[in-house]
């Protein structure tokens, strides 16, 4: 299926909506993330593509770890892995009985294939051998774009975020995109920058030769 031709991201409407339609083929997703664009839609809408202004990011040196979370980290009651069960993490992120979810079966299948192509990655958090939290996102060059996270026990998603930031710093990543800021990520150090600044940083980051 041919790659969807995206408009210039600067043409997105005030809410960040840029385009409607296209497909979720790996080549299309890769083209989108390389331009700072991501899909976000539900079962009642066509595929919607976004590039919001401002854009939420987490500067890797600005991660905030509360005293309580630091104590939890020191207990070692959680075990963290990477790319060990991508599909299970996506499934965990899908279960939102009160909020609804944008992760339709079509989306889950698309990112599963993106993972098999080496572009999407997961962080798993385990407790006594049971998956209790995690997150997944897209890595291209020196860009990591976070997509979704989940937890079934307290602090599990935060543990995943801390582990991811540590890995991104160790590997030399330049940009951690969070797309849209929320209370959870704001409390852990997320901030917002203009779309123009973000797009400039994406352009530079994806040129880096970094392996997740």
- Model pLDDT, residue 46: 95
Per-residue model confidence as pLDDT tens digits over 154-197 = 999 999 999 999 999 999 999 999 999 999 899 999 999 999 99
Q: What's the pLDDT band for 110 if we cut at 50, 70, 90?
A: very high
Q: CB-based contacts of 128: which residues, under 8 Å, 6+ apart? A: none
Cα distances (angstroms) measured from residue 120 to each of 78, 108, 140, 144: 23, 11, 9, 9
- Model pLDDT, residue 100: 58
CB 49 within 8 A of CB 6: yes
Residue ranges per domain, the chain?
55-193
Per-residue model confidence as pLDDT tens digits over 62-73 = 999 999 999 999
- Model pLDDT, residue 29: 97
pTM, to two decimals = 0.95
- Model pLDDT, residue 3: 64
Phi, psi (deg, nearest 5) at residue 160: -65, -40
Strands of 130-140's sheet in order across: 79-82, 120-127, 130-140, 143-151, 175-179, 55-57, 191-193
Q: Which fold has domain 55-193?
A: Aminopeptidase (3.40.630)
From the list 73, 100, 54, 75, the residue with the least C-alpha distance to 163 is 73
| More confident site: 181 or 4 | 181
- Model pLDDT, residue 99: 56
For residue 196, give the 3-state DSSP assignment.
helix
- Model pLDDT, residue 97: 55
The mean per-residue pLDDT over the stretch 115-121 comes to: 98
Cα distances (angstroms) measured from residue 78 to each of 67, 85, 157: 17, 16, 11
Q: CB-based contacts of 211: which residues, under 8 Å, 6+ apart? A: 171
Per-residue model confidence as pLDDT tens digits over 20-76 = 999 999 999 999 999 999 999 988 899 999 999 999 999 999 999 999 999 999 998
The per-residue pLDDT of the chain, averaged, comes to: 95
């Amino acid at each position: 299926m041919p790659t969807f031709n995206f408009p210039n991201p600067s043409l997105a409407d005030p809410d960040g909506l840029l385009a409607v339609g296209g497909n979720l083929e790996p080549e299309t997703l890769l083209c989108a993330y390389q331009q700072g664009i991501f899909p976000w839609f539900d079962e009642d809408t066509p595929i919607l593509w976004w590039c919001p202004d401002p854009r939420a990011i987490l500067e890797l040196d600005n991660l905030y770890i509360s005293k309580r979370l630091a104590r939890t980290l020191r207990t070692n009651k959680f075990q963290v892995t990477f790319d060990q069960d991508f599909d299970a993490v996506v499934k965990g992120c899908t279960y939102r009985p009160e909020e609804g979810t944008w992760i339709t079966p079509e989306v889950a299948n698309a990112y599963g294939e993106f993972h098999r192509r080496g572009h999407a990655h997961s962080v798993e958090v385990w407790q006594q051998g049971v998956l209790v939290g995690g997150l997944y996102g897209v890595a291209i060059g020196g860009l990591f774009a976070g997509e979704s996270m989940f937890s079934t026990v307290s602090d599990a998603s935060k543990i995943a975020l801390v582990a991811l930031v540590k890995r991104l710093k160790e590997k030399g990543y330049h940009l951690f995109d969070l797309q849209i800021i929320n209370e959870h990520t704001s409390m852990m150090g997320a901030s917002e920058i203009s779309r123009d600044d973000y797009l400039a940083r994406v352009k530079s980051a994806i040129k880096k030769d970094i392996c997740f």
